[in-house]
Amino acid sequence: MNLLMMLAALSGAIAVAAGAFGAHGAGGAAVEWLKTGAHYQLVHAVAALVALRLEARGPAWLFVIGGAVFAGTLYLMALGAPRWLGAITPVGGALLIAGWLWLAWVAMRG
């Protein structure tokens, strides 16, 4: 089994679960953190699967890892973790941006 494909699929499932929890079980700022995290994680789970289809494993890894860091820190804060974790969230965002830039470079090279 392809580990990266499995992780991308699990990332999508986690995103849907987090979004559902944000819509039906959370309150206050947690709702927005869950909504934002779920949106970014789901988009990048799909992007990772597309990158895999294009045989661009590097960008796919960045999408999965970046999505986990970005969304994971937001999910943890929504569940009551300290807000200083919000300082780590941009690291995940930077990985996501790097994934898109790497994918663009792969496309440019043909």
Q: Which residues form the domain of 34? A: 3-109
pTM over 0.85, yes/no: yes
Backbone angles phi, psi at 2, to 5 degrees: -80, 110
C-alpha span between 56 and 37 (Å, rounded): 24
pLDDT in tens, 46-83: 999 999 999 999 999 999 999 999 999 999 999 999 99
Among candidates 37, 57, 45, 54, which has minimal Cα distance to 9?
45
Task: Give the count of domains, the chain.
Answer: 1
